[in-house]
Structure 1
Amino acid sequence: MTTRVFTSPLFLGFDHLEQMIERAAKTSSDGYPPYNIEQLSPVSLRITLAVAGFTMDDLQITLEDNQLVIRGRQQDDGQGRVFLHRGIAARQFQRAFVIAEGIEVKGAWLDNGLLHVDLVRPVPQPVVRSIPITRGGTAKAMAPRTVEAPDSAT
C-alpha cells in the first residue's frame, strides 16, 4: 500500500519527487553488498560498497534518471576448480540509490575490495524574482488561446 505524501494543494509540481520516493521504497531490501554513505563535507558525499572478489570489469555504474545504479556480475573462472567448501558468494547484485536533482557523480574507484563513489551537491544559489502585478484586462493575454477548427464544409 502506497501513501501519497504530497496531497496538499500547496505542493505544486512535486510529482517527480513523489515518484522518486516510490522508487526508493521499491529498492531491494537485500543487504548485499553492504554499503556506507558518509558525508565528507557540507557539499560532498561518498558511497562505499564492500565488493570483495569483484574486479573493475565485473562492476558497472550508471545514472538512470535520478537513480544511481551499481551492478556487479562476476565472471565464472572456476575452470576445473573443485571447491570442498564455497563460502565466498559469486553472485550478481544490483544496488540503486535515488539521488536528488542537481547532485553530480564526481567519480568512482575500486580499492582493496571497496568501491567508492563520490557525489557532490552544489549549494543552490537563492533566486529571488519580482513578479509584476498588472491591471485587469492583461491577464487575458496569459490565458491559453483557443484555435478554431477549419471549416470542413468546403
Structure 2
Amino acid sequence: MSFDLTPLYRSTVGFDRLFEMLDDAARAESWPPYNVAKAGEDHYRVAMAVAGFSDSEIQVVQQGNTLVVSGQKHPEPEGAEVLHRGIATRAFKQTFKLADHVTVTSAVLGNGLLTIELKREVPEALKPRRIEIAAPGSKSPLQDNTQQPLIAIAKAA
C-alpha cells in the first residue's frame, strides 16, 4: 500500500521533514526482521534477526540522531556447493532515527539475534526544574545572588 503525498506538498509549508520521514518509511526495507521494544523508563532495545552473519560481518554505527546497522557477508569458501539456500545472505542496511539524547550502550550478537541496547540520558541542564514561588514583596530566591550564612539570616529576622 502506498500513498501519493504530492497534493500535500503543494498545499503545506514547513512540513518537509515530516513528509521526508513518511517517504522514507514507505520505502524502508523490512529485511532483516527486527523488533523495537521499550525495556524501561529510558531504556530501549532493538533486536534484529541476522542468522548466518558473524560479528565481523555486521557494523553498528551511531552518528548524531541516526543509528545505522549494516551487514555484508564474506564470500563463500571455494569448493562449497550450496544445494538449497534457505538462509538469506544478502547485504543489508537498516537505518533508525533516534530521539534527542538517545545513545547506544551496547550491541551483542548471539543465537542469530543482534541486540542493541539504547538509553535516553537528558542532560541536567535540559531537565525540567521546579521554580520556587515567592510571596508578594519578598525577594525571590532566583533574584538573591548573595550567599549569606544561615546565622546572619536568623539574626536579621
Per-residue deviation, residues 31-58 of structure 1 (Å, max 9, x unmatched): 2100011111011000000000000100
TM-score of the pair, normalised by structure 1? 0.66
Counterpart of 1:73 in structure 2 is 72
Distance between the aligned counterparts of 1:63 and 1:21, measured in 2? 23
Bigger radius of gyration = 2
1:37 aligns with 2:36: yes
Distance between the aligned counterparts of 1:25 and 1:101, measured in 2? 21
Change (3 A) 1:47 1:21: farther
Mapping of residues 18-33 of structure 1, within 5 Å: 19=17, 22-23=20-21, 25-27=23-25, 28-33=27-32
Distance between the aligned counterparts of 1:71 and 1:20, measured in 2? 25
Counterpart of 2:141 in structure 1 is none
TM-score of the pair, normalised by structure 2? 0.65
Counterpart of 1:99 in structure 2 is 98
Distance between the aligned counterparts of 2:71 and 2:119, measured in 1? 23
Shift of 1:90: 1.0
Of stretches 78-87 and 36-45 in structure 1, the one that deviates more from structure 2 is 78-87
Q: Select the structure that is richer in helix.
A: 2
Cα RMSD for the two superposed structures: 2.7
Structure 1 residue corresponding to 2:128, chosen from 126, 131, 138: 126
Secondary structure of the 1:118 match is: strand
Does the CA contact (< 8 Å) of 2:51 and 2:87 recur in 1?
A: no
Distance between the aligned counterparts of 2:70 and 2:130, measured in 1? 41
Percent identity of the aligned residues? 32
Counterpart of 1:133 in structure 2 is none
